[in-house]
């Protein structure tokens, strides 16, 4: 398979050129209603197309949440395919937020669905769950390397329930979240300018100085905006790794729709604020 330039290199360039911002595409029913759209495939398509048209030519990353498309069945998945293709054509990198995780041939099939270059849903990166064991992700890691794609592994998530698994302490004294970070650092060893295997680490978690976040890869950071974190929090939470953070904003941008100009302006404001916070002049 002839792959793309590695995801990490493409992401580093996009973040440097466009600013380190990821905008979520989360067409849940309440947000469709706020936009004056019906909770149906037509509303889904209008919502998604509007977001892509507004910001895909200016933000580094767009992150569609697969579940909000899948709930409409095959017609919803067709809208997702269209959104991914149009976003990538406009220059945004697409992280598919599907949080897939399984073992063996099933994990391989999930990987082929999103990471094979000829797949209708091919995305630049995929969120994955490692909680059947990090080794269960091997098929996705291998295909991502082959195709030039990336992964974002759930490591230290912002939901309160995550702690019961991610903070559990192993026999070696290291907790599960830290173990996932260590696996990713090994995957990214020696990669320049940035590895392609990232972690999901919530921006709402406060001081993470007890964790080694220097995984030589990106840190996808949900929680900016509606969940309470602000761009100003990023240096405190992520410390020296802040330059590799990809802050995700969903409702903070999407609530400005369906006006395209308002969506664009909101994304620009967040991108500029994050840029100045992460790399002040």
CA distance 9 to 196: 8
Displacement of CA 228 from its chain's centroid (Å)? 18
Residue pointed to by tokens 């797949």: 119
CA distance 263 to 268: 9
Residue pointed to by tokens 């559990």: 168
Strand pairing class (245-249; 61-64) = unpaired
Q: Please, which residues bridge with residue 24 across strands?
A: 63
Strand pairing class (245-249; 219-224) = parallel
For residue 32, CA distances in Å to 53, 99, 257, 273 come to 17, 23, 10, 27
Estimate the crossing angle of helix 41-55 against helix 260-278, to 10 degrees: 50
Catalytic: 99? yes
Instruction: List, in order, residues 6 or more apart from 210 with CB less than 8 Å away.
Output: none
Beta strand segments in the chain, E:
22-25, 61-64, 93-100, 125-128, 150-156, 197-201, 219-224, 245-249
Q: What is the CA radius of gyration of the chain?
A: 18
CA distance 24 to 96: 10
The residue annotated as part of the active site, out of 49, 58, 99, 243, is 99
Active site residues: 99
């Amino acid at each position: 398979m002839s792959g793309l330039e590695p995801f990490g290199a493409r992401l580093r360039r996009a973040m440097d050129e466009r600013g380190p911002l990821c905008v979520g595409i989360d067409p849940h029913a309440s947000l469709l209603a706020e936009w004056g759209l019906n909770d149906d495939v037509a509303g889904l398509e209008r919502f998604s197309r509007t977001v892509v048209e507004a910001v895909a030519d200016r933000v580094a990353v767009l992150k569609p949440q697969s579940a909000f498309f899948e709930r409409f069945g095959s017609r919803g998945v067709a809208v997702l395919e269209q959104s991914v293709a149009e976003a990538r054509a406009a220059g945004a990198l697409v992280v598919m937020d599907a949080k897939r995780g399984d073992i063996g041939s099933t994990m391989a099939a999930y990987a082929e669905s999103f990471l094979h270059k000829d797949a209708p849903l091919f995305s630049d990166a995929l969120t994955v769950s490692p909680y059947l064991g990090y080794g269960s992700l091997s098929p996705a890691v291998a295909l991502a390397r082959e195709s030039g794609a990336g992964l974002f592994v759930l490591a230290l998530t912002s939901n309160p329930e995550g702690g019961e698994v991610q903070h559990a302490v192993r026999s070696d004294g290291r907790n599960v979240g830290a173990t996932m970070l260590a696996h990713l650092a090994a995957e990214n060893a020696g990669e320049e300018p940035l590895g392609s295997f990232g972690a999901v680490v919530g921006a709402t978690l406060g001081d993470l100085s007890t964790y080694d976040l220097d995984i030589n890869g990106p840190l996808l950071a949900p929680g900016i905006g509606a969940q309470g974190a602000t761009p100003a929090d990023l240096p405190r939470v992520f410390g020296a790794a802040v330059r590799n953070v990809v802050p995700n904003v969903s409702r903070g941008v999407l609530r400005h729709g369906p006006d395209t100009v308002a969506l664009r302006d909101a994304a620009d404001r967040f991108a500029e604020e994050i840029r100045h916070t992460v790399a002040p002049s």
